Structure 1
Amino acid sequence: MIESDIQNSPAPTAMHEVHVEIHRFIDDAQPSWVECTLRDASGREWQITDKVPTFTEAALDADSTYPQPGMVRCEIVREWTDEGGRQRCVISTAVPDAVEAVSGET
């Protein structure tokens, strides 16, 4: 589970998304695969690899310029307000797209 700031997706889906930085092209299979970094609210970096359409609508390939912005969909597991008055949450990227960090965490 990842502690992060979130962004609401537009209605009607109640899905949430968090920013990732797409920094490397991995495989030109169809669909292509990329490696991303998700930086959580604590500053921890999570390495994620998955298919390009999981993170962006851009047509990325080995010749694209990196890094590129992206998003990963997620589920909010828990929400709270920290001592500084900031909204925080724990998310899981297992829902809806079964995305997990290279370490196996979601």
Structure 2
Amino acid sequence: MTHDHWHCRCNITRWVDDHFPGVVECRLSDRFGREWIFVEKVAVVTTAPIDPDGAFPQPAFIACEVISWGHDESGRRTARINTEKPWDIKSLDEVSEFQVYAEQLIHPRGIEDSNSG
């Protein structure tokens, strides 16, 4: 079992609240095509200067832990992730575990620094 800090790509789709430092809506698509909605502080999902009048969507990342690696029916590499670690992030549906494609993930030490499997 892999317990390592990663970032999953998502998109900021709109500004939600001006409460400092700003709150945005993010959308993450899982490997099955389902779109999950998160509402989070700007600074938690991006270091880019996002503001209410900016253009959307904007790229962002949700920190996560990779629970396991696998492959789908066509051999494409997948990952089961948990967004509760490290920053206790959950979707609006209170879901924190997702199956995504490996290419949606970025490792803080670099994209090539992943487990082979």
TM-score range, shorter chain: 0.7 to 0.9
Q: Verify: 1:74 aligned to 2:49, yes or no.
A: no
Question: Which piece of structure 1 moves more, 65-74 or 82-91?
Answer: 82-91
Query: In structure 1, how many angstroms separate the alpha carbons of the residues matched to 2:18 and 2:91?
Result: 20
Q: Once the two structures are aligned, what percentage of the paired residues are identical? A: 34
Query: In structure 2, how many angstroms separate the alpha carbons of the residues matched to 1:99 and 1:20?
Result: 13
- How far off is 1:103 after superposition? 0.5
Q: Deviations over 1:45-76 (max 9, x none)?
A: 00001000111111212111111111111111
Question: How many residues were matched structurally?
Answer: 93
**3-state secondary structure, aligned to 1:53:** helix
TM-score, normalised with respect to structure 1: 0.82
Q: Which runs of 5+ in 2 are unaligned?
A: 97-117
TM-score, normalised with respect to structure 2: 0.75
Q: Which amino acid is 1:74 matched to? A: C
Query: In structure 1, how many angstroms separate the alpha carbons of the residues matched to 2:48 and 2:59?
Result: 10
Query: In structure 2, how many angstroms separate the alpha carbons of the residues matched to 1:54 and 1:70?
Result: 9
Question: What's 1:48 paired with?
Answer: 38
